Amino acid sequence: MIAALLPLLIVLPVLGFLVNGAIALTRRPTTGASASSTARHPLVTVVGPGVVIAAFALAVALFMRVRVGLPAPAVLSLGQWMPVGNLVVDWTLQLDQLSMLMVLVITGVGSLIHVFSIGYMRDDASYARYFAYLNLFVAFMLVLVLGGSYPVMFVGWEGVGLASYLLIGFWFGDKANADAGKKAFVVNRVGDFGFLVAMFLIWTTTQKLDFEGAHAALGAMGGTPVVLAIALFLFVGCAGKSAQLPLYIWLPDAMAGPTPVSALIHAATMVTAGVYLVARAAPIFAGAPEASLLVSTIGALTALFAATIALRQWDIKKVLAYSTVSQLGYMFVGVGAGAYTAGVFHLVTHAFFKALLFLGAGSVIHAMHHAYHQTHRHDDPQDMRNMGGLARFMPATATAMTLATLAIAGIPPLAGFFSKDEILAAVFSRAHGSPLASATLLGIPGSMVLYTVYGVGILTALLTAIYMTRMLLFTFYGSNRTGEAEQAALHEAPAVMTAPVLVLALLTVAGGWLNLPALLPMGPVGLLEQWLEPVTGASARALSGAGHLDHTTELVLVGVAVGVALLGMTIAAVRYRQPGADQSAATKDTTLLARAYGVDALVDALIVRPVQAFAGVVLDRGIDRTVDRGFSAGGSLLSRTASLMGARLQDGDMGKYAWMLAAGALALIAALTLT
């Protein structure tokens, strides 16, 4: 019964895509037209969010069935896909505790983002097209997490890549937006190559591609080079989709799309796919401790790298974008250390407070844009240096974003504190007596690597508290810098936008109760760990070994984490209490951090321009034009020759026609005689 309902989860958003897409095609906006006059069909407002809300309701119903007991994954085969010799891949859907959790996050947070979009996109002329793409995104993400084999998961994996391209470049009339969509698409294809190679290796090694069969076979081969290679190639795919070094460069530019799109991509869907894949492939990574060490190390370096850049960003969405890259690094630190529950726990809490931050930022941008439109001002409505003091005009949004800031900074008892602390504690505990500690990475003992990762995590927590408090102060507190005329037009977002923000604020406050540690028995302990035990428990135990912490050490680690968060917030409060002259929107920030270390310029110089030059000189001029001109010239000569011959033969001279007819008849008679 459970398995039979799985296709409906995917069909619902697909129906939304088809309905909204049909409306978008039949009600195309004309130049200068508004959404209300052309594309904002009332059916879109009902169907767009409605199908995702219905999917969430179905997910809750399935959860109530699963929580009673699910001794084995519910698997449904919809028919054969690729029967080629020994390779037989079915269209298989699978529901277990891990995919159930992901479905709840995708549809739950996705529903709130869809509702918020009603208010945010109400004046956009492509209102129907927007919801069509948004529904398509959710559908493919559900395919990704419900796929019962690596190939089926890969369909969803590629599908969210397509949907993200459409949504990031949604306002494609602006070249920068179109370029951002293409950048996300191309960079993700680099990572996807790794995923493909991993699938090829899994098949050639085990002759299986379904999760249960492949993991059982590879689990028995733990410690072998082929398992290590598969884990490393899988992580290449994860690094592309979840924006880890060096493939993170697409995510900051993904801000080009509408702000709710940023919330959906960053919080509940695409960028969490890589973390989900590591957790799903836990038996493979547990059999390759060196690969797991690398995952944690890359995660820690990414977290620190992105946090430093966020310190000097002025676009409110760019701050949150680099924050997402950094928090994803934390998640990989957790799953890389074999703390799969901790990594997935942070994925869930991050979905709550990061969706809240993005939707809150969307409310701010919406208000600033409206105020600028009323006063005909043309400054950047996303630059925090143009804001300040907005709490007086938007108290609900300010309160909600303050809670989210405290959560991401790691202040108890908010959700981010519990999940981030669990990751750091797990890394510290595995630095002694675990298979990870016994492994090596580039000749460095695993124990030293893990202690370093823990230290980097603490430093990143300090920077997180600084840049998030800075964003909060520049946006909502201090003196208002919008201008007197604009202040009169500033107001709280409409209820359809504020309501989802408040719901996410409640989840940000209460989300930590999903997996309370035994150290702080404020309610049921370890609910999420118990829930995920059938899927990731054995792999987590295989990597934890004898590593454990006593309560005293745990209390010290908690105290250090909270102290670092408070220190960071204090530093930001002192440093940014009053914006200085160098923090004016009129002053271009040319610092290294503001330019994100110049990575984009470096990529442009080392990769983009050489490829363009090669394409222009070799492909365009050397091959394309040569072939084109050769075919054109040859075809033209042949055409002219045939035309000239035809003109000479058909010149109206009847005598010539008679001689030709006689010659042809004689030739035909001779041929027949000879044969």
pLDDT at residue 243 is higher than 80: yes
pLDDT at residue 500 is higher than 80: yes
User: Among 73-77, 189-193, 264-268, 343-347, which is the least confidently predicted range?
Assistant: 264-268
- 45-76 pLDDT, tens digit per residue, is 999 999 999 999 999 999 999 998 888 999 99
End-to-end CA distance of the chain: 78
Cis ω on the peptide bond leading into residue 413 (within 30° of 0)? yes
Using alpha carbons, select from 4, 342, 273, 266 the residue that is nearest to residue 110: 266
For residues 316 and 259, the answer to whether their CB atoms sit within 8 Å is no
The band of 29, judged by pLDDT with boundaries at 50, 70 and 90, is low
Predicted pLDDT of residue 33 = 47
The secondary structure of 69-100 as a DSSP string is: --SS-EEEEEEEEEEETTEEEEEEEEE-HHHH
User: Among 123-132, 395-404, 425-434, 605-614, which is the least confidently predicted range?
Assistant: 605-614
Written as six digits, the tokens of 634 are 């040859």
Predicted pLDDT of residue 660 = 77
The band of 32, judged by pLDDT with boundaries at 50, 70 and 90, is very low
Alpha-carbon distance of 205 to 598, in angstroms, equals 42
Predicted pLDDT of residue 13 = 98
For residues 40 and 127, the answer to whether their CB atoms sit within 8 Å is yes
The band of 28, judged by pLDDT with boundaries at 50, 70 and 90, is low
pLDDT at residue 190 is higher than 60: yes
Q: What is the DSSP letter of 618?
A: I
Predicted pLDDT of residue 444 = 96
Stretch (H or E) spanning 623: none
pLDDT at residue 450 is higher than 90: yes
Q: What is the DSSP letter of 221?
A: T
Q: What is the DSSP letter of 295?
A: H
Secondary structure of 5-43 in HEC code, one letter for each residue: HHHHHHHHHHHHHHHHHHHHHHCCCCCCCCCCCCCCCHH
Total count of residues recorded for the chain: 675
Written as six digits, the tokens of 487 are 């202040």
Instruction: Give the three-class secondary structure for 465.
Output: helix
Predicted pLDDT of residue 404 = 98
User: Among 229-243, 262-276, 339-353, 461-475, which is the least confidently predicted range?
Assistant: 262-276
Number of other residues whose CB lies within 10 A of the CB of residue 660: 12
Predicted pLDDT of residue 588 = 82
The band of 643, judged by pLDDT with boundaries at 50, 70 and 90, is confident
Alpha-carbon distance of 548 to 430, in angstroms, equals 7
Alpha-carbon distance of 87 to 203, in angstroms, equals 8
Instruction: Look up tokens 């800031």; give the residue.
Output: 405
Residues ≥6 apart with Cβ < 8 Å to 444: none
Cα 515 to Cα 409, 504, 652, 655: the distances in Å are 18, 18, 97, 103
Instruction: Give the three-class secondary structure for 149.
Output: strand
Across 204-223, average pLDDT: 96
Written as six digits, the tokens of 373 are 């439109």
631 or 36, higher pLDDT: 631
Written as six digits, the tokens of 560 are 């250090």
Stretch (H or E) spanning 299: helix 289-310
Predicted pLDDT of residue 266 = 86
pLDDT at residue 38 is higher than 60: no
Predicted pLDDT of residue 650 = 73
pLDDT at residue 674 is higher than 80: no
The band of 375, judged by pLDDT with boundaries at 50, 70 and 90, is confident
Across 208-219, average pLDDT: 96
Across 409-431, average pLDDT: 96
- 259-284 pLDDT, tens digit per residue, is 999 999 988 789 999 999 999 999 99
pLDDT at residue 324 is higher than 50: yes
Predicted pLDDT of residue 547 = 65
Predicted pLDDT of residue 246 = 95
Across 301-307, average pLDDT: 98
Cα 601 to Cα 250, 500, 598: the distances in Å are 13, 38, 5
Alpha-carbon distance of 473 to 593, in angstroms, equals 19
Q: What is the DSSP letter of 525?
A: B
pLDDT at residue 340 is higher than 60: yes
What dihedral do alpha carbons 121, 126, 127, 128 form, nearest 10°? Answer: -160
Across 184-188, average pLDDT: 95
What's the half-sphere exposure (Cβ side, CA atoms, 13 Å) at 324? 37
Instruction: Look up tokens 């409110």; give the residue.
Output: 316
Across 281-298, average pLDDT: 98
Mean pLDDT score of the chain: 91
